[in-house]
Structure 1
Amino acid sequence: MTNATTDPWAVWREARPPTRLVHLDSASAGRSSYAVLEAVGDHLLLEAQVGGYVAADQAAPALDRARADLGRLLGLGAGDLAFVESATAALDVLLDVWPLPAGSRVGVPPSAWGPNVELVRRRGHLPVPLPVDGVGVLTPDLLDGALTTDPPDLVLLDLVAAHRGLVQPARELAAVARRHGVPLWVDVAQGLGHVDADTGADAVVATSRKWLTGPRGVGLVGVASGHHDRLRVPARAKHPDTGPVALLESDEAHVAGRLGLGLAAAELLAVGPEAVAARLVEVGQEVRDRVAEVPGWRVVGPDAPAAAITSVAPTAGQDPARVRAGLLAAGVLTTLCLPWRAPGEVGEHDPGSLRVSPHVDVVGDDLDALVRGLVAAAG
């Protein structure tokens, strides 16, 4: 682990406001740059000066660039993307407009994001478990077997699990699903800005605020061009010449947030998504190496293909909620992971774990502070 004076990623830190604490929570909300914050503020000011709709018209070219840049990251065209409010809102939109029969069977791995599974149920569909290997990976062979013997109507996959650093081979899985004629949707909320998010999926949902470090309150839905015509999107007299994906966007929009998201995507492309992804693999390994040596704690799923998310669980009776609160009081920000995040994998009586998710600019002093807190909590 580099220190603050030799860290080649210090420029990433310097592009952002100073933190008041050790920020190890990019999987919840990454830290936006000064430029992203300025872009959001400038548009809000413009709305006050010239009116919201005039300001939105003036922002149209920048929003077009944002869709194009986000499409580059997701392997989609600009016309395949629509801005929505969040990844959850994106999934809700997909479930509304995709021609799924009532009561469709939706295949999900055990590590699936719990709120996504709940939303599938609320929409009247049946989540069904898909087989995984010993560390939780849905391998192409296992998916091929499942789609051969008992295919669901849809496969819904998290590119990166939210409760631990499990990365699924989405591109290979998309090829398998395509051979079987089963649509594959990928939730890239934890993947965009973290790992390669070009999944080859039929549809994707994403958010701005995590590893991409854009503003909160903005998300994306993406539908591959070959599926546009099958979407059940009603025509709108206000937008007579607008395609079905673009019609998924709300006119009552957080345009400032969309501009911030677009700028965050442009920043990632300028730095290099591959370089960021490689660095985040290093970050995750550094974290796991450090916390694996702390008495009273264990790394959750250490053998899984992982990037920068690490979850640690107590082995000495510690209450993770109290530990998380204690760390925060000491100036270290982490996330409490309770079973609702992945109920297919985590038992309801599990006491939970702590999720540690630093970004590329983490330094040794940051992890020293985390280790001190974990040691103190273990007694």
Structure 2
Amino acid sequence: MNIDELREQTPGCARVTHLNNAGAALPPRQVIDAVSDHLRLEAEIGGYEAADRAAPGLERFYDAVAALIGAERDEIAYVENATRAWDMAFYSIPFEPGDRILTTTSEYASNAIPYLQIAARRGVRVEVVPDDAHGQISLEALEAELAGGGVRLVSINHVPTHNGLVNPAAEVGRLCRAAGALFLLDACQSAGQLRLDVAELGCDMLSATGRKFLRGPRGTGFLYVRRSLLRALEPPFLDLHSAKWTAPGAYEIRGDARRFETWERYVAGQIGLGVAADLAVELGMDAIERRVTGLAARLREELAARPGIKVLDRGERRSGIVTFLVDGHDSAELKLALRERGVNVSSTHVDDQRFDPAATRSAVRASVHYYNTEEEMERLLAALPL
């Protein structure tokens, strides 16, 4: 990777030290141009007309995302964000009373709340699989729960939003296949920073966003659904794009993953997300992963060496997300103070991870990307209170 060239292609690098890539990464010039060019075209010739002219770019999105995660283009749906992509998959599962949903302690609120809603609505049971000694989902405990029967779905995050671990998704997928349980993987924080291959992961469904490590536009995301499963899942809502009105009293749902889409969409965003996915594939996800995890490991070491700072990350394998506490300082207030000094980070809150007994009330979250530099991490360290 030519980091100088990549930073030159990222206008935001000249203005800010951006260590909030788990929130929203800085987009590269290629994505900015793709989105702004289409918006300009809409203003000049009209939205419908611009979409017709941009049809190749819209179709390119499906090939680009499929290449990114090792899928086929008919298994990919464009959705406006990761939450809605995840919802479209989850709410399409035909749960029955007594079904069990297994998840992890590190589950995020936007997924946990739908579990509870479906539990109340359909009479299913939501069960949290305990952690192993490394703080990630325990494969031994998961295997035992699966052996108990009745598990309709295993649904976990690949990378939690509030600590640095990477859940062993491929091993979870292997256990799910052996037990005949569906496997829904939330790749919101892993797409774009870790190499993903849906065949290796063994997931039936995978949801992701564009705005985080993929460096795509906000308001974009995608959903993968395994081809052999598509017709068994009926989306929670339909329109004239996801289904065809075949007679006054009849309709037919599409046979591909676009059954989870709606006709109206952020057209410029879809084009931009395709460009972002192409860029990630071009750079190479193995190289991106090495760069991101290497920078994060160095930052953890530097933080841990500072008195009064506690690094919270756990997991046998770790990602580009680094979480920590600074003695005597509220994490949310520290985030704002750092922002005033030109350093972007985020903060976590316990309200978003109530299944996790180890979650702190709040923590500072710094998340690195391949365009970040060692000098920027030094800038963060220098800006922290002693």
TM-score (norm 1): 0.91
Quick one: which of 264, 270, 274 aligns to 2:282? 270
Residue 212 of structure 1 is matched in structure 2 by 214
Matched-pair contact (CA < 8 Å) for 2:75–2:225 = yes
Matched-pair contact (CA < 8 Å) for 2:153–2:181 = yes
Residue 197 of structure 1 is matched in structure 2 by 196
Q: Name the SS for the 2:203 alignment partner.
A: coil
Aligned partners of 1:186, 1:127: CA distance in 2, in Å?
16
How many residue pairs were aligned? 368
Gaps of 5+ in 2: none
Residue 96 of structure 1 is matched in structure 2 by 91
Aligned partners of 1:339, 1:300: CA distance in 2, in Å?
14
Quick one: which of 79, 83, 95 aligns to 2:78? 83
Residue 320 of structure 2 is matched in structure 1 by 308
Quick one: which of 47, 50, 56 aligns to 1:52? 47
| Distance of aligned partners of 1:146 and 1:369 in 2 relative to their CA distance in 1, 3 Å threshold | same
Aligned partners of 1:102, 1:52: CA distance in 2, in Å?
46
Matched, 1:279 2:291: yes
Aligned partners of 1:157, 1:303: CA distance in 2, in Å?
15
Matched, 1:345 2:341: no
Aligned partners of 2:334, 2:134: CA distance in 1, in Å?
26
Aligned partners of 1:346, 1:11: CA distance in 2, in Å?
43
Aligned partners of 2:57, 2:128: CA distance in 1, in Å?
42
Per the TM alignment, residue 244 of structure 1 is displaced from its structure 2 partner at its CA by 4.6
Matched, 1:72 2:72: no
Quick one: which of 73, 92, 109 aligns to 2:104? 109
Per the TM alignment, residue 91 of structure 1 is displaced from its structure 2 partner at its CA by 1.6
Matched-pair contact (CA < 8 Å) for 1:71–1:81 = yes
Matched-pair contact (CA < 8 Å) for 1:97–1:231 = yes
Deviations 1:241-278 (A, max 9, x none): 84252122111110100100000000111111111011
Per the TM alignment, residue 161 of structure 1 is displaced from its structure 2 partner at its CA by 0.9
Per the TM alignment, residue 64 of structure 1 is displaced from its structure 2 partner at its CA by 2.1
Alignment of 1:15-30 (within 5 A): 15-19=9-13, 20-30=15-25
Aligned partners of 1:256, 1:285: CA distance in 2, in Å?
36
Alignment of 1:1-379 (within 5 A): 8-19=2-13, 20-101=15-96, 104-123=99-118, 124=121, 126-149=125-148, 151-198=150-197, 199-233=201-235, 235-237=243-245, 242-302=254-314, 304-314=316-326, 316-346=327-357, 350-374=360-384, 376=385, 378=386
Percent identity over paired residues: 30
Aligned partners of 2:331, 2:230: CA distance in 1, in Å?
45
Letter in 2 for 1:27: A
Per the TM alignment, residue 89 of structure 1 is displaced from its structure 2 partner at its CA by 0.6
Out of 230-239 and 128-137, give the one that drifted further: 230-239
Deviations 1:104-128 (A, max 9, x none): 4321110111221012223345431
User: What's the C-alpha RMSD, in Å, of the aligned pairs?
Assistant: 2.1
Aligned partners of 2:317, 2:59: CA distance in 1, in Å?
35
Gaps of 5+ in 1: 1-6
Q: Which has the higher strand share?
A: 2
